[in-house]
Structure 1
Amino acid sequence: MQSKDPERRSEINGGMVRVRRRITGAVGAGVVMLLAAGCAGAATGGKASPGASASVVAAEPLPLPPTPRAVTWTDSDHRAHPLRVTPTRLARGDAANLEHVRLDDDLKGMVPYYLTFSYTNTGKAPVSGVDPTGNFSVNGADGRAGQPVSLFRTNPLATSSGQPEECRESGRARLAAGETAALCQIFMLPKDRKAATVSYKDDGGDTFLWDIDGAAAEGNTAGVLPAGRPADSVTQDTYDHAVPVHLTPKGVRTGSLADLDRFDLSAETKKMVPYYVTIEYRNTGKYDLLPSMKDGVVLRSAGGQEAKKMLLLDIGGPGVGRCPESVPHGMVRPQATVTECSIHLLPKGDRPVTVVFQGKGQGAQPVVWRATGGDR
């Protein structure tokens, strides 16, 4: 599949690695596609390569509602086409199933999820080049998206496509009016992060979600603190001194674009929903801090989006009433506290799932909380 995005390539077992990154709206999310040798047999003309594992672990089907959604898909000429997409099957595989593929180091040991979906041309004319794969995502309960991986056969004489049995639907690039095709995409997630949602980032701006039944109740958010629980992290002062801070999240609230009507918003921003994240910070170090810790806050969503703090230029203005500026306005002295509110934008249809304080400087580690409870 061709892409206008920058690509990084390197030879790998007769194939190549291609990293493609797609920026989705103002939020931004990286999408990675890996092209590797299709399978152990394909790489050696039908014979298993030395050291290849023959172990195959049956994939576990997950309860995903096959609810169809009407979406907009944009072709390479920027023409919009109406489609109907339906996730029809999601199964959790095992890392052993991809032992025959030479993956990038950051993908090794991850667990494959096989997502099969159908797509129908609901327009009145044929559509060419149809590929809604890049709009789908399989996401963990912490809001981090899985990495999409596509396996392609590099040996034209091989009899196997190299795709696992759970992911053999190959799709169709041209659809007549009313015609339907099916496609399967592999997504990789860490072993300790089970999938909770399937999402579709519509080219019209909205996000569509399908919740995996029971996933939210499994508590599969390793490393995520309960909403409101205090935690410690590190930031920096204006002289780059490491300063420890004690954090107490106060809540995530749904905002309104009417709260931002004093500002010049882009057409894309006006399609989104603002959320207000409030955290109390206590300076537990020995250096003064500027009340700007909110710059390190990120809101993760059920759709796998990461929304950084919105930048609003309002020098000397009244700010946003429902998400007020820092109090106090001066330096935060040692043992003093400051409460800060940051504004984050998510597409309509999406929802917050975790709040992240990234920290700054030597020894800083991200702190992650559930985005529920508090004053949301």
Structure 2
Amino acid sequence: MAGAAGVGVFMLLAVGCGGAATPGKASPGPSEAVRPAKPLPLKSAPRQASWTDSDDAVHQLRLTPTRLARGADSDLRHVQLDDDLKGQVPYYLTFSYTNTGKGTVDRPDPARNFSVNGADGQAAQQVSLFQSNPMATSSGVPPECRGGSKDTLAPGDSTADCVIFMLPKGAQPATVSYKDDDSGTLLWQVGGAKGGASGGVLPVGKPADGVTADSSRRSVALRITPKGVRTGSLADLSRFDLDADKKKLVPYYVTMQYRNTGSHDLLPSMNNGVMLRSAGGQEAKKLILIDIGGPGVSQCPESVPHEMVKPGATVTECSTHLMEKGDPPVAVVFQGEGEGRSVTWRAKPEGGE
């Protein structure tokens, strides 16, 4: 299971504010007249969690996301952004945390474990800014996220921090999440996110066109229909040798129907391009299970029928995906090959242990 895409801090360069600095004379800083950020409804209940430092020591914290606000792309006009982030919208997450352990915590940094996630389970890109012009008279960091947290937290002490996340225009945050090894994924709901087909996310079960590639790497068109996402049980996988970490997860079975609308034969292996996204921004690709000549997972047949898919023919495939307890899937993604593009549907898991 892959981690959330926005979990790693991406370093941005705060460029010289107001032009090149003259030695001995500070260049003027940027205007502070920025558009006020718009707060979003956020269920900000405190949650107990853990944070692991660089020495692999685990510290107990009580976390409370206190505010999530939508900024404007003009907030970062003095920041040199990578091309893939230009035109995206900044969101400012403010959170507080308390040291609930028995020892002092040095240089705590739980911010990197937070994520802001869209309704399609896509994690926003977390960014961190640093100032490149020491002569500038004003910080390039937006006012929403200035200040800083304490460097040391004694038992019972609290502090606060702010993190900037970038989401594409049209996307809306649906959850704030925190990922750690002990507590799993913690979720806080964000109000105001629209469901349905907004933001390029198709409704549950709606047929859509996609593209895959045949064994000669030629593009082949598909008509894809999601047939369902079912919650399984680890007992279903008892024949397989799963490692300890995988035994803590929940299996989900994704059934998809593919019609070959192209002009070349296909192997029934389109489910290799299927992925689940969770409410907490986690991504889970198809679980590879070694079962040469065996019956596989009876609850999730690999392909029916199990033969070449000729032009005009249809095949139904099922794939197994492992996700954390308490962090259910919200979207199914088909990642096309060749000239294909990704197609995303909302997921509504059925069943359960």
Same-fold call, TM cutoff 0.5: yes
The reply to whether residue 47 of structure 1 matches residue 27 of structure 2 is: yes
**Contact between 1:228 and 1:373, CA under 8 Å: does it hold in 2?**
no
Secondary structure, aligned partner of 1:321: coil
Give the aligned partner of residue 83 of structure 2: 105
Closer/same/farther in 2, CA of residues 374 and 224 from structure 1, 3 Å limit? farther
Closer/same/farther in 2, CA of residues 173 and 347 from structure 1, 3 Å limit? farther
**C-alpha separation in 1, matches of 2:48 and 2:15:** 33
Deviation of 1:182 (Å): 0.4
The reply to whether residue 81 of structure 1 matches residue 59 of structure 2 is: yes
**C-alpha separation in 2, matches of 1:56 and 1:150:** 19
**C-alpha separation in 2, matches of 1:223 and 1:137:** 21
Closer/same/farther in 2, CA of residues 354 and 328 from structure 1, 3 Å limit? same
* Aligned-pair identity (%): 62
Give the aligned partner of residue 3 of structure 2: 28
**Contact between 2:28 and 2:136, CA under 8 Å: does it hold in 1?**
no
Runs (5+) with no aligned partner, structure 1: 1-25
Secondary structure, aligned partner of 1:78: coil
Deviation of 1:55 (Å): 5.2
Give the aligned partner of residue 194 of structure 1: 172
Give the aligned partner of residue 370 of structure 1: 346
The reply to whether residue 177 of structure 1 matches residue 152 of structure 2 is: no
Deviation of 1:320 (Å): 1.1
Give the aligned partner of residue 307 of structure 1: 284
Deviation of 1:53 (Å): 7.0
Give the aligned partner of residue 337 of structure 2: 360
**C-alpha separation in 1, matches of 2:139 and 2:46:** 29
Closer/same/farther in 2, CA of residues 72 and 302 from structure 1, 3 Å limit? same
Give the aligned partner of residue 65 of structure 1: 43
Give the TM-score taking structure 1 as reference length.
0.86
Give the aligned partner of residue 231 of structure 2: 254
Secondary structure, aligned partner of 2:155: coil
**C-alpha separation in 1, matches of 2:276 and 2:241:** 23
Give the aligned partner of residue 98 of structure 2: 120
Closer/same/farther in 2, CA of residues 46 and 193 from structure 1, 3 Å limit? farther
Deviation of 1:37 (Å): 2.1
Select the residue among 124, 138, 142 that pairs with 2:116.
Answer: 138
**C-alpha separation in 2, matches of 1:169 and 1:62:** 21
Give the aligned partner of residue 93 of structure 1: 71
**C-alpha separation in 2, matches of 1:118 and 1:194:** 23
Compute the RMSD of aligned alpha carbons.
2.2
**C-alpha separation in 2, matches of 1:261 and 1:240:** 36
**C-alpha separation in 1, matches of 2:207 and 2:69:** 36
Select the residue among 263, 287, 298 that pairs with 2:275.
Answer: 298
The 5 A counterparts of 1:142-221 are: 142-156=120-134, 158-204=136-182, 206-217=184-195, 221=198
Closer/same/farther in 2, CA of residues 194 and 53 from structure 1, 3 Å limit? farther
**Contact between 1:55 and 1:97, CA under 8 Å: does it hold in 2?**
no
Deviations 1:93-116 (A, max 9, x none): 000111011111111111110000
**Contact between 2:256 and 2:316, CA under 8 Å: does it hold in 1?**
yes
Which amino acid letter does the alignment assign opposite residue 294 of structure 1?
N
Worse-matched range after superposition: 243-252 or 232-241? 232-241
Give the TM-score taking structure 2 as reference length.
0.92
Larger % of strand: which?
A: 2
